Amino acid sequence: MTTPPPWNGPNPPQQPSGWDKATPPPMPPPPGWDAQTPPPMPPPMPQQAPPMPPDGMYGTPAMPGMSGMQPMLQLPAETLVTIGDIICTQTEVITPSGRRPIGQVTWSFTDMSRTTRSIPTWAIVCAVVFFFVCFLGLLFLLAKEDRTEGSVQIVVQGPGLLHQLQVPVYSVMQVQDYSARIGYARSLTAAAYGM
């Protein structure tokens, strides 16, 4: 730690008495505040119920002759797996197309994605730049990048139910995740079918 140069001005700055250089001087208390009593608390705000939105604003529209809102469709409490807009519980499958007992449905999974491996653009640029410095820049051409594009198709069907879902994927891990979710849904169907 260095010390500041000596003061060369006409009036040297004054330091408070009892002040050492390691700690700053204490701040005086605000006017009207005693160190023994805590500051006063603001008065509590009155509690009011939030205003109700007009009929039909949230949830489903209100039915004629009824006042207030209709309840929205809520997720079942025992949701075990979701696949896009498909919800599986221990006893049923819920889709936008309808509901069916899980033991009565069949699952189909089709991987329509493709993965390509190529040299990334940054590796080509680095190889060209470092080629003139030394030939080690050519090692950048060994870098490879996997790129996945496409989608997976999921179909759930049962008596009176057919729901198809096509989900875009951007990595191999997403494809494996959807495949594992379908595998789990199939195991739920097999367990319910055996009951």
> What confidence tens digit (pLDDT) does each residue in 98-135 have?
899 988 999 999 999 998 899 888 888 888 888 777 77
Domain ranges for the chain, please list them.
Answer: 81-193
Q: Edge-to-edge strand order for the sheet containing 81-83? A: 81-83, 86-88, 92-95, 98-101
pLDDT in tens, 32-84: 666 566 666 667 766 655 555 454 444 444 445 444 444 445 555 688 898 98
pLDDT category at 193 given cuts 50, 70, 90 is confident
* H or E element, residue 183: helix 172-193
Burial 93-125 (b: 16+ CB within 10 A, else e): bbbebeebebbbbebebeeebeeeeeeeeebee
> What's the token pair of residue 90?
């221990």
Q: How far is Cα of residue 139 from the mean position of the Cα atoms in its chain?
A: 37
* H or E element, residue 161: strand 161-168
Percent of the chain having pLDDT more than 90? 29
Give the pLDDT of residue 62.
Answer: 45
Query: What is the spatial distance between Cα 164 and Cα 174, in angstroms, rounded to a whole number?
Result: 18
Query: What is the spatial distance between Cα 192 and Cα 185, in angstroms, rounded to a whole number?
Result: 11
pLDDT category at 152 given cuts 50, 70, 90 is very high
Give the pLDDT of residue 70.
Answer: 45
pLDDT category at 154 given cuts 50, 70, 90 is very high
Give the pLDDT of residue 109.
Answer: 94
Has this prediction a pTM greater than 0.85?
Answer: no
